[in-house]
Structure 1
Amino acid sequence: MIDAVVVAAGSGNRMRAEIKKQYMTIGEEMLFIHTVRVFDLHPQIRSIVLVVSPGDEEFVTGVLRTYNWKKQIRVVAGGQTRQESVFYGLQALDEGSEYVAIHDGARPFLSQTILTNVIHKVYEYHAVAVAVPVKDTIAVVDDGKIQSVPERSTLWSVQTPQAFQTALIRKAHAAAVQDLFSGTDDASLVRRLGHEVHIQIGGYSNMKLTTPEDLVIAQLVLQERQKEERFYEFNPHRDRI
């Protein structure tokens, strides 16, 4: 079994909205509800820690109580940065936690298949990050001029979830706190300890909702997901692709 830490403590400034993006609605539900449900439905997830902005704990707990969840969900306050919020989420896990999947609350379209693949791989390698090959040409730019163009086949866009042996990721975060080190993500903290992080191929629909344009795409993705769910309700013996 594996636990989950869902980080939904961001301010969402780039969304340019009056409310935090995790509380904006997609379809008829708040963004963070869609994300939490992915983990609640997975049979190998034992418990969920939901990290929210300090002061939002009571509000989020109230929203969660309006749903019937299968798993235990613990709501904790985050910090000033994502890294600090993950650190607090890890501290809230039960001492018996062996593995943990860390996921952005603003990625509501993680598929059960990808999550399953991540879980299987982390049991073997102890450190796994979801990623997809980049589609565009990436240029290194300095002073407004292209300096180099890396080979695209070597470039991947890293997503979440990132899953780790719990003792390993706790050690990585503790070392970062001690050294005042700020990493790009949790995988960078583990790599800093000299531990390899393996890649699990993700999906382009596992997007992080950051800007108003992302919300438009999210509505379309949700509509397609709902069509698929209705299709399999009436065709229960049809294999999923």
Structure 2
Amino acid sequence: MYCSDFEIKYKVTMILAAAGSGKRMKLGYPKQFLSVEGKPLFIFPLETAQKNSIIDEIIVTTNSENVDKVKEFCAEYGITKVQTVVSGGKERQNSIYNALLCDKNSDIILVQDGVRPFLKDRYISECCKIVADEKCGAVVGVKVKDTIKKVDGNMEVVSTPPREELVAVHTPQVFSGDIIKRAYKKAEEENFIGTDDSSLVERMGHKVRIVLGDYDNVKITTQEDLKFLNQEGK
């Protein structure tokens, strides 16, 4: 990858997490294969990455029984940057770790949800620039619109965090290759399961910055989320 804003040439790899089961969607098949205008949902972020000049390679992690199917779809839609399709694990974190083990010395690694179809070029460029210039992580997110309540096990309100301090995080989540690999290895060794990629990096004491994204950068998880696909015309 080379960008005029960067003084050094970096190898940039995107890991696409496409190992979901689709249970909450009640589809009867993995949600990443949901057809939108005749195209599998996971192909949309791959097409953005394929056309983006910053990303050099792509690793896709998917269900073991769907590895060949993903390869076939990538070939059909001309996603030539996909170097490896690797079997996922029990949890998303296990799947990403499997993909990281297949990476070959990338300087910068992006992790993207396969069912978050509205990946934008600016997310990639802004996050990669922060990682390159500031040597910290970068995560796309949006400021929360609603008041958030912290509750206990009985659903009683414990506190109300200031809304201006809260961000809902999305993907891509972007880090230097060595840092995210060490973070995942440490989590694996300690049987720690984080809520996202950034949480694993944060627990090692590394700084992570937020890149403000857009509210349409939704993750398609439930049937209700399908309305966003219709609104965006995809």
**Separation in 1, partners of 2:175, 2:64:** 26
Counterpart position of 2:186: 175
Q: Which has the higher helix share?
A: 1
The answer on whether the counterparts of 1:41 and 1:70 sit within 8 Å (CA) in structure 2 is: no
**C-alpha distance in structure 1 between counterparts of 2:119 and 2:157, whole Å:** 34
Q: 1:17 to 1:69 in 2, by over 3 A?
A: closer
Specify the code of the residue in structure 1 equivalent to 2:47.
R
Deviations 1:93-132 (A, max 9, x none): 11x3111101111101011122211111111233111111
For 1:159-195, what per-residue CA distance to the aligned partner results, in whole angstroms no more than 9, with x for missing partners? 1111111011100111111111111111111111111
1:29 and 1:205 map into 2 onto residues whose CA distance is: 19
Residues 73 and 218 of structure 1: CA distance in aligned 2, closer, same or farther (over 3 Å):
farther
Instruction: Classify the secondary structure of the residue corresponding to 1:15.
Output: coil
1:70 deviation in Å? 4.7
Q: 1:189 aligns with which of 200, 205, 208?
A: 200
* Residue 151 (str. 1) matches residue 197 (str. 2): no
Measured after TM superposition, the shift of residue 144 of structure 1 is: 3.2
Alignment counterpart, residue 118 of structure 1, candidates 123, 127, 133:
127
Q: Report the equivalent of 1:25.
A: 35
Give the distance between the partners of 2:79 and 2:68, measured in 1 at CA. Answer: 17
> Mind listing any 5+ residue stretches in structure 2 that lack a counterpart?
2-11
**Hey, what does 2:232 align to over in structure 1?**
221
Q: Kindly indicate whether the alpha-carbon contact (under 8 Å) linking 1:100 and 1:166 is maintained by their aligned counterparts in 2.
A: yes
Displacement of 1:12: 2.1
**Equivalence map 1:126-165=2 (5 Å):** 126-142=136-152, 143-165=154-176
Unaligned runs of 5+ in 1: 224-241
Over the matched positions of the two proteins, sequence identity in percent amounts to: 35
CA RMSD, 1 decimal: 1.3
**TM (normalized to structure 1)?**
0.88
The answer on whether the counterparts of 1:26 and 1:219 sit within 8 Å (CA) in structure 2 is no
The whole-number CA distance in structure 1 between the counterparts of 2:212 and 2:101 is: 28
- In 2, the alpha carbon distance for the partners of 1:113 and 1:222 equals 20
Per-residue deviation at 1:221? 1.3
Is residue 27–residue 219 contact of structure 1 (8 Å, CA) maintained in 2? no
Contact 2:137–2:173 (8 Å) recurs in 1: yes
Matched pairs, number: 222
Matched, 1:105 2:134: no
1:91 corresponds in structure 2 to 101
Distance 1:176 1:209 in 2: 27
Deviation at 1:145, TM superposition (A): 2.7
